[in-house]
Amino acid sequence: MIFSVPSINAAERERLLTTYPEVFHRSFWQRWGLAIAAVVVLVYLGFCFAFFNVIPTFVNGNWDRAAVYVQDWYSWRAQPRLRFLDGKVVPQWTSRRQYPEGANIDWLQPTAAGYTVTFGGDNDRLEVTLTQVDVYLDGKSYPVTLTGGKTLAPTDHPARIVQEENRVVVYYGFAGQAEIRTSQVYVQRRFLGWANFFFDIQSPFWGKSTGELLGLAFAGDRIDPAQSNASLMLDNFLHNASWQHGDIFSKLMQTLVMAFVGTLFATIIAFPFAFIAARNITQSKPVNWVMKRVFDFLRSIDMLIWALFFTRAFGPGPLPGIAAIFFTDTGALGKVYAEALENVDDKQREGVKSVGASPVVVQRYGVVPQVLPVFISQSLYFWESNTRSATVIGAVGAGGIGLKLLESMKTNGDWDKVAYMVLLILCVVFIFDNVSNAVRSRVMGKRGH
């Protein structure tokens, strides 16, 4: 089937040109504006890449260190130092010791001359003595000598053994690594999961299986005559010296209280002042202008800056966080409320005013019913958002879980605890997001959604 395009005569063509000149006679910007904008954006992105050294930063980044930090989120490292003291090999542990004194550790076993450290099997291990460390990779031995004050790897060592000045580093992949020096062997042995998450090594419940714990909780003899085993388990969990669950839960509650109280106070203050800022409610233009500028001032200063200011004024704690949220949200909610008030339907106001009602009654019955769902919806949204923001401002000293999170990050050895707190924050934000959405839907009259 062949389609033919109908032709038009000169008169029809002239009529179309006259009727729709914007279609046939497009301006320069209409024809080339999009292409010019695309070129400008590309040039700007190129400038940003060069100005911020994006490519060199990525190339020179410490990706190995970043990979270790990521692994620390979902795994843990036992880090004994096998020191050479008084003619013996003596294991010493870090402050976050994962094993109690005298525990039988299957991957760290004493021998007649020192210690054997296994990394996932007998084919990958270290045999540590005072004068030599035998490194086994895939079952093959590579002796590292510790004589004459020097640490020397064999000349035929593979890439997983690295000679760095007077130390030798051995890499066993995810299982860990070892740093061999003349005075010690620093071992990092990695395992999946979080060590001692429920009970620390001081707890009588440490190392027991789930079945043993259930038996002790419901049928076993009391370990502490003063309380039941179930109560003792809860107490040991909350006061876990390694994970500090009780302190973390307390800081998380502080964060939630900061968000709720700060948003509530901001809502209470912004509500009446928004009526002053609204031009159709308060007829004085100077008063409108001053009130709106106050709102602009409060919201133009970032919440983090307010938090720093109040932390210096009142010291660390939740009060500066509440004040920072209150000041910022008062300005933001006041602006939003005022704009909602300026867009109300004046017919309802006139109807209430026509029966001789006072100005307060006019606002109560002619304006508030129109804007109340919007006010509540916006306050709920700010409350949900402040639950996340309270974590950030807590990191600058305003209390809450943000400060606890920053403390764990600074150690560079508690990234599993950082992951734990991040998961708690995500769970809380998820719950509050769903609660806020459900309440907003009901307030706005969308029960079916």
Q: Are residues 47 and 83 in the same domain?
A: no
Nearest to 406 by CA among 295, 292, 273, 311: 311
pLDDT at residue 5 in the model: 54
pLDDT at residue 359 in the model: 74
d(CA 82, CA 171): 17
pLDDT at residue 2 in the model: 57
- Say what angle helices 415-443 and 245-277 make with each other, to 10 degrees: 40
Helical segments of 161-284, H only: 210-218, 229-238, 245-277
Residue 27 lies in a domain: yes
Q: Are residues 266 and 408 in the same domain?
A: yes
CB 290 within 8 A of CB 334: no
Q: Are residues 188 and 277 in the same domain?
A: no
Contacts of 189 by beta carbon, 8 Å cutoff, 6+ apart: 77, 78, 79, 80, 107, 108, 117, 119, 175, 176
Residue 237 lies in a domain: no
pLDDT at residue 364 in the model: 75
pLDDT at residue 116 in the model: 92
Q: Are residues 420 and 345 in the same domain?
A: yes
Q: Are residues 139 and 287 in the same domain?
A: no
What is the DSSP secondary structure assignment for residue 129, as one 8-state letter? -
d(CA 392, CA 354): 51
pLDDT at residue 238 in the model: 92
Q: Are residues 366 and 409 in the same domain?
A: yes
Q: Are residues 359 and 294 in the same domain?
A: yes
Question: In this predicted model, what pLDDT tens digit does every residue of 341-389 receive, in sequence order?
Answer: 888 777 776 777 777 777 777 777 777 788 888 888 888 888 888 888 8
Q: Are residues 397 and 255 in the same domain?
A: yes
d(CA 117, CA 94): 17
What are φ and ψ of residue 120, in 5° steps? Answer: 85, 10
pLDDT at residue 15 in the model: 74
CB 304 within 8 A of CB 393: yes
pLDDT at residue 60 in the model: 77
Tokens of 443: 């307030």
Nearest to 242 by CA among 397, 84, 420, 65: 420
d(CA 160, CA 107): 20
Contacts of 116 by beta carbon, 8 Å cutoff, 6+ apart: 108, 109, 125, 126, 127, 128
Nearest to 99 by CA among 121, 78, 74, 72: 78
Dihedral, CA atoms, 246, 247, 250, 256, nearest 10 degrees? -120
Place of tokens 């502490």: 224
Residue 201 lies in a domain: no
CA 411 to centroid of chain Cα atoms:
17
Tokens of 194: 């979080």
| Weakly modelled stretches of the chain, pLDDT under 70 | 1-8, 17, 20-26, 95, 349, 444-449
d(CA 249, CA 245): 6
d(CA 25, CA 34): 17
pLDDT at residue 22 in the model: 66
Helix and strand numbers, DSSP H then E, in the chain? 16, 13
- Provide the number of structural domains found in the chain: 3
Residue 443: how many CB atoms within 10 A of its CB?
16
Helical segments of 301-367, H only: 303-314, 318-341, 346-353, 359-362
Amino acid at 357: A
Residue 95 lies in a domain: yes
Q: Are residues 317 and 433 in the same domain?
A: yes
Q: Are residues 33 and 91 in the same domain?
A: no
User: Helix, strand, or coil here: 178?
Assistant: strand
Beta bridge partners of 109: 116
d(CA 87, CA 114): 10
Contacts of 351 by beta carbon, 8 Å cutoff, 6+ apart: 366
User: Helix, strand, or coil here: 162?
Assistant: strand
Residue 403 lies in a domain: yes
d(CA 276, CA 270): 10
Tell which of 153, 173, 192 closes a domain: 192
CB 146 within 8 A of CB 133: yes
* Domain, as residue range, for 85: 78-192
Q: Are residues 256 and 381 in the same domain?
A: yes
Tell which of 192, 207, 234 closes a domain: 192
pLDDT at residue 341 in the model: 87
The C-alpha angle with vertex 308 and arms to 307 and 312, in degrees rounded to 5, equals 115
Residue 4 lies in a domain: no
Residue 94 lies in a domain: yes
pLDDT at residue 267 in the model: 93
Residue 83 lies in a domain: yes
Question: In this predicted model, what pLDDT tens digit does every residue of 58-115 receive, in sequence order?
Answer: 777 777 777 777 888 888 888 899 999 888 888 988 767 788 887 888 899 998 889 9
Q: Are residues 121 and 188 in the same domain?
A: yes
